[in-house]
Chain A
Amino acid sequence: MKTRVYVTLKNGVLDPQGKAIHHALEGLGFSGVNDVRAGKLIELDLAESVADEDVEAMCRKLLANTVIENFRIERQIEREPGAAA
């Protein structure tokens, strides 16, 4: 089962990469960009038996550094066999 983990810097933590991207977008002439924050997307292919708590533990122990980062877990919802699309 595909699971996505989004890792983003906490609010208030300066994001130098986001700032540089923002600056570059302005340099390219794109207007109206108020702010840019850069983060990471980590895709996990997990066995069905892996519990939500386990994914959360993975995030806390390795995937995110909770001193400076937040994480959001998105588990792909598997359609039940035979259920209507």
Chain B
Amino acid sequence: MKSAVIVFPGSNCDRDMAVALEAIGGSKPAMVWHRDTELPEGLDLIAIPGGFSYGDYLRSGAMAANSPVMRAVKDAADRGVSVLGVCNGFQILTEAGLLPGALMRNAGIRFVCRDVALKVENSQTAFTARYDSGEEIVIPVAHHDGNYQADEDTLDRLEGEGRVAFRYSRECNGSARDIAGIVGAGGNVLGMMPHPERSIEPAHGRTDGLRLFQGLIEAIG
């Protein structure tokens, strides 16, 4: 599997993501700087990591969504390359228009940093194939702007099309319908606030994130 991790100024989960991809995928991902205008040839997966790109200036993810590399990411996503956005990566994907909706300040204003229980809503996506629908898993979150919002029609469409991948089992940050992660219309883009890369080895306390990567790697071969 050939993968890349996009690095923006202020990304801080890029190395965690790289460690996870190498440990599970077997090869080191390319680290691609935000100013690059081209991605390496033949990528199977692009990961957009967590962090505080551009210091969250203007809105979380807003500046990164307009950085040079994102045009190449959009083109790759359109060609069907898998894109995984975690935390700030999810914010960037919504700001870039690759996923619908927006991630606002947590309803309780507080930064939420803890393990959260998630319900796997749809195990038929490339990202959730190793889970069972309805299964509860525990994955850590660490964010200030994770409050997912979209208009009712968009939410209904996401639910109807099975594009809600993960839902918080209990209220976490004010997200509409407790949505924690969604996939794009093409099924090859996933954005989620919880950090699966922080839950892949026993030393992390839990390994529920491991199966996301394993399933994805199997799906994209």
Q: Are A65 and B95 in contact (CB under 8 A)?
A: yes
Q: With A14-B174, A62-B58 in contact, do A67 and B149 touch (Cβ < 8 Å)?
A: yes
Cβ-based interface call for B66 (8 A): yes
Cβ-based interface call for A36 (8 A): no
Q: Which residue of A lies closest to B150 (CB)?
A: A67
Main secondary structure of the interface of A (DSSP, over half): helix
**B101-109, B111-119, B126-134, B162-170 - interface stretch:** B101-109
Distance in Å: Cβ of A85 to nearest Cβ of chain B: 37
State the CA gap A62–B54 with chains docked (Å). 14
Q: Are B58 and A68 in contact (CB under 8 A)?
A: no
Q: Are A16 and B102 in contact (CB under 8 A)?
A: no
State the CA gap A20–B110 with chains docked (Å). 11
* Number of chain B residues close to chain A: CB under 8 A: 20
> A38-66: contact bitstring with B at CB < 8 Å (1 yes, 0 no)?
00000000000000000000000111010
Cβ-based interface call for A13 (8 A): yes
Interface centre among A20, A67, A68 (most CB of B within 10 A): A67
A13 partner residues in chain B, CB cutoff 8 A: 104, 149
Q: Which residue of B lies closest to A66 (CB)?
A: B102
Distance in Å: Cβ of B57 to nearest Cβ of chain A: 11
A67 partner residues in chain B, CB cutoff 8 A: 94, 100-102, 149-151
How many pairs, one residue from A and one from B, have CB atoms within 8 Å of each other in the complex? 37
Distance in Å: Cβ of A13 to nearest Cβ of chain B: 7
State the CA gap A78–B95 with chains docked (Å). 35
Q: Are B150 and A16 in contact (CB under 8 A)?
A: no
Q: With A13-B149, A14-B174, A16-B174 in contact, do A65 and B62 touch (Cβ < 8 Å)?
A: yes
State the CA gap A17–B109 with chains docked (Å). 7
Q: Are A65 and B102 in contact (CB under 8 A)?
A: yes
Cβ-based interface call for B74 (8 A): no
Q: With A65-B95, A68-B149 in contact, do A17 and B105 touch (Cβ < 8 Å)?
A: yes
B149 partner residues in chain A, CB cutoff 8 A: 13, 67-68
Cross-chain pairs A/B with CB under 8 angstroms, 9 sampled: A14-B104, A14-B107, A16-B105, A19-B109, A20-B109, A62-B58, A63-B58, A65-B62, A65-B95
Q: Given contact pairs A17-B109, A68-B104, enumerate 4 new A-B contacts (beta carbons under 8 Å).
A: A16-B107, A17-B105, A62-B66, A68-B149
Question: Which residues of A are at the interface with B, using a C-beta cutoff of 8 A?
Answer: 13-14, 16-17, 19-20, 61-63, 65, 67-68
